[in-house]
């Protein structure tokens, strides 16, 4: 457990020393307790210099998605203002479901450094090793009809693609429905889950898995041909904290826009980033494989596939081979 | 706990006596245990005659929705073939969610004689007193795209309306989206809830609350103007077990039809039973009240409301005042 108040006081000193006596007074605990808290910060990855008579000085914060770091410089009103962090958890998605059921507000994020049972679309697993990625689940409570929920996945994909392109300089494409590609490989997956009644959405959990700083060796061999990271595509590493902040800011702005203005502008933005439009693709669906030219998406979020006979088939659930 | 095997043996005798010795042999327990089980059956509402030397004879089974009763004469393949019963539970819906999450198969029904926290649409409560109604939640695992799920509510409404009309001789109407009316009052509500990801439905829980044998006094005063029962509308009481069986049979047949043939035939059947079509209605939605002529439903299950300016507005979530 890190003492967030202590971190905030050390940060407020902007690299200057704060005496143990003052920290003791500010936190209302003994100087021995301060020393103990400083040790805990070091365990958590903070570099803190301690100098007799001068006190303590924060040299560097770790690039870990602790709420106190995520929220330091986060320019959102709701998204991420409540955040819970786990060094390791089975699945941030499951934890977010539990909290949403229990009444968690819109904007809560659940983040973990490692997921031991990370989940992807269609019941698949998601590889979530430590110290390298952003594994994050966001609670939404959109007042939209159930048939519109798949649009949220596409809105999120567009929003994240724009943010990642802006933060990294990479060309980021979208493969239907919501895989983000950079350097020809999948770097980000989005899992949208929901609980609803037929005429009311109770909540949506937007799960985001972003590979940030992995090297090729960090991926299991069977994933290497298709999976990559931002670092692999860009040839440099990125701050996970800064990326998560920009992602949440972009998502909040785009989500609010979507609720106010509807799907049309996002449909255009989505189609502009889509890597498959106009191309021949194979859609592998539960009901069989369909071959055709990807022509766009419709208001259900379905992919419009032009088949050999010219007919447009709506694809709701599939894996796409490009 | 009732001994279902004992009930089946007594029923197999078709009103004749079965000796305690034979029952003891059939169940592989002592005659004292048989005597104890018979007492339990009586506690559970079974009328069993015991005659020295002759043995035991089932005089009448109670009209209670025990699985052994529900399944005796139930002509379905899946719906109700697994059933769990509670004398009292907070909400059959919540229990069905828990079981569906844990992998319960399609067709499982959860039934209670009393619900202490019965739920209706849009977070409302559902009055569920003992011995009078059918409070039942059915687990479905339909392979349909998320935007089609609201259709399931309408399919269920049509199916139940047809079954109830056939079983009671009453004229049964549907008020959008899924209230069933008889004798001018609401007699049945349907609550469709689901867990899904954007491109895959995990499960749907179809909750059915049917007022069967209530008298007017069984309803709280604030409900009396709008709520009624089949018995109030028909002037006679009905067997809850027989109704539940016919409902499950109808639902299974219609559900399978819907999955094979799609929504079009059900849309027509729904519109034929709708009480509001062509009439001026007020749709009270979260976004305000809308007045217009109810013209029909669309493939999203939305109500098409013709407003004063002639424009059609799609209503996804509302209470309708006729």
For residues A287 and B256, which has the higher predicted lDDT (pLDDT)? B256
A317 with B195: Cβ contact below 8 A: no
Of A145, A194, A316, the CB nearest to B316: A145
Interface check for B115 against chain A (CB to CB < 8 A): the answer is no
In this prediction, residue B177 carries a pLDDT of: 87
DSSP bridge partners of A55? A51
Give dist(CA B322, CA B283) in Å, integer.
9
Percent of all residues in chain A with a pLDDT value above 70, rounded to a whole number? 100
Tens-place pLDDT, residues A114-136: 999 999 887 788 889 999 999 99
| B115 annotated binding-site participant | yes
Is it the case that residue B299 has pLDDT exceeding 90?
no
Q: Is B41 found in the same domain as B108?
A: no
Q: Is A93 found in the same domain as A51?
A: no
Is it the case that residue A79 has pLDDT exceeding 90?
yes
Is it the case that residue A51 has pLDDT exceeding 90?
yes
Interface check for A150 against chain B (CB to CB < 8 A): the answer is yes
Residue entry with tokens 């809830």: B193
Q: Is A107 found in the same domain as A49?
A: no
Q: Taken in order A100, A149, B190, B44, is the CA torsion positive or negative?
A: negative
Is it the case that residue B124 has pLDDT exceeding 90?
no
Q: ipTM of this model? A: 0.85
- For testing the chain A interface, which of B194, B199, B299 should be mutated: the one with the most A CBs within 10 Å? B199
Least confident of A80-84, B189-193, B283-287: B283-287
Q: Is A209 found in the same domain as A102?
A: yes
Domain-terminating residue out of B60, B83, B99: B60
In this prediction, residue A300 carries a pLDDT of: 84
| Structural domains in chain A (count) | 3
Q: Which residue does chain A place closest to B199, by CA atoms?
A: A317
Contact B199, B146 (CB under 8 A): yes
Q: Taken in order B217, B219, B221, B223, is the CA torsion positive or negative?
A: negative
Tens-place pLDDT, residues B16-56: 999 999 999 999 999 999 999 999 999 999 999 999 999 99
Give dist(CA A225, CA A198) in Å, integer.
40
Of B147, B150, B301, the CB nearest to A150: B147
> Quick one: A131 exposed, middle or buried, by C-beta within 10 A (0-12, 13-18, 19+)?
middle
Average pLDDT over residues B167-177: 95
Q: Is A83 found in the same domain as A32?
A: no
Give dist(CA A62, CA B282) in Å, integer.
58
In this prediction, residue A120 carries a pLDDT of: 87
Percent of all residues in chain B with a pLDDT value above 70, rounded to a whole number? 100
| B119 annotated binding-site participant | yes
Average pLDDT over residues A188-194: 96
Contact B118, B209 (CB under 8 A): yes
Q: Is A162 found in the same domain as A105?
A: yes
DSSP β-ladder status, B280-285 and B83-89? unpaired
In this prediction, residue B275 carries a pLDDT of: 93
Percent of all residues in chain B with a pLDDT value above 90, rounded to a whole number? 86
Mean pLDDT of chain B: 94
Give dist(CA B304, CA B111) in Å, integer.
34
Contact A131, A113 (CB under 8 A): yes
CA distance B205 to chain A (A): 9
Give dist(CA B207, CA B176) in Å, integer.
16
Q: What is the CATH number of the domain that holds A287?
A: 2.30.30.100
Q: Is A195 found in the same domain as A317?
A: no
Give dist(CA B116, CA B187) in Å, integer.
19
Question: How many C-beta atoms lie closer than 10 Å to residue B277's C-beta?
Answer: 19
Average pLDDT over residues B203-229: 94
What residues make up the domain containing A287? Answer: 280-321
Interface check for B291 against chain A (CB to CB < 8 A): the answer is no
Contacts of B148 in chain A (CB under 8 A): 147
Is it the case that residue B8 has pLDDT exceeding 80?
yes
Q: Is A314 found in the same domain as A171?
A: no
Interface check for A196 against chain B (CB to CB < 8 A): the answer is yes
Q: Is A98 found in the same domain as A225?
A: yes
Interface check for B194 against chain A (CB to CB < 8 A): the answer is yes
Q: Which residue does chain B place closest to A314, by CA atoms?
A: B145
Tens-place pLDDT, residues A137-173: 999 999 999 999 999 999 999 999 999 999 999 999 9
Q: What is the CATH number of the domain that holds B29?
A: 1.10.10.10
Is it the case that residue B1 has pLDDT exceeding 80?
no
Interface check for B184 against chain A (CB to CB < 8 A): the answer is no
The confidence band for A178, taking pLDDT boundaries of 50, 70 and 90, is confident
In this prediction, residue A249 carries a pLDDT of: 98
Question: How many C-beta atoms lie closer than 10 Å to residue A79's C-beta?
Answer: 26
Tens-place pLDDT, residues B57-114: 999 999 999 999 999 999 999 999 999 999 999 999 999 999 999 999 999 999 999 9
The confidence band for A276, taking pLDDT boundaries of 50, 70 and 90, is confident
In this prediction, residue B122 carries a pLDDT of: 78
DSSP β-ladder status, B83-89 and B109-115? parallel
Average pLDDT over residues A72-81: 97
Contacts of A193 in chain B (CB under 8 A): 195-198
Q: Is A174 found in the same domain as A105?
A: yes
Q: Is A165 found in the same domain as A95?
A: yes
The confidence band for B276, taking pLDDT boundaries of 50, 70 and 90, is confident
Mean pLDDT of chain A: 94
Contacts of A286 in chain B (CB under 8 A): 143
Q: What is the CATH number of the domain that holds A94?
A: 3.30.930.10
Q: Is B183 found in the same domain as B36?
A: no
Tens-place pLDDT, residues A282-313: 999 888 999 999 999 998 889 999 999 999 99
């Amino acid at each position: 457990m890190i003492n967030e108040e202590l971190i905030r006081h050390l940060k407020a000193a902007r690299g200057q020393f704060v005496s143990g006596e003052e920290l003791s007074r500010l936190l209302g605990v003994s100087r021995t307790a301060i020393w103990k808290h400083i040790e805990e910060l070091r365990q958590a990855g903070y570099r803190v210099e301690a100098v007799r008579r001068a006190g303590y000085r924060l040299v560097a914060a770790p690039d870990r998605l602790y709420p106190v770091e995520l929220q330091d410089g986060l320019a959102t009103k709701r998204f991420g203002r409540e955040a819970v962090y786990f060094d390791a958890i089975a699945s941030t998605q499951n934890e977010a479901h539990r909290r949403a059921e229990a009444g968690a507000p819109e904007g809560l994020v659940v983040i973990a450094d490692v997921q031991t049972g990370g989940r992807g679309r269609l019941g698949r697993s998601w590889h979530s090793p430590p110290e390298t990625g952003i594994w994050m689940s966001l609670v939404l409570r959109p007042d939209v009809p159930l048939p519109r929920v798949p649009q949220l996945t596409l809105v999120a994909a567009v929003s994240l693609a724009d943010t990642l392109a802006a933060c990294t300089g990479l060309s980021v494409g979208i493969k239907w429905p919501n895989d983000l590609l950079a350097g020809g490989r999948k770097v980000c997956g989005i899992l949208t889950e929901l609980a609803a009644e037929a005429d009311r959405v109770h909540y949506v959990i937007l799960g985001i898995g972003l590979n940030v700083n992995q090297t090729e060796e960090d991926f299991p061999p069977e994933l290497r041909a298709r999976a990559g990271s931002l670092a692999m595509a860009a040839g440099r590493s990125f701050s996970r904290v800064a990326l998560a902040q920009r992602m949440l800011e972009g998502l909040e702005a785009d989500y609010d826009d979507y609720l106010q203005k509807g799907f049309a502008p996002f449909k255009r933005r989505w189609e502009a980033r889509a890597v498959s439009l106009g191309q021949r693709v194979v859609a592998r669906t539960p009901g069989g494989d369909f071959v055709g030219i990807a022509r766009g998406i419709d208001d259900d979020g379905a992919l419009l596939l032009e088949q050999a006979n010219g007919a447009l088939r709506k694809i709701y659930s599939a894996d796409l081979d490009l």
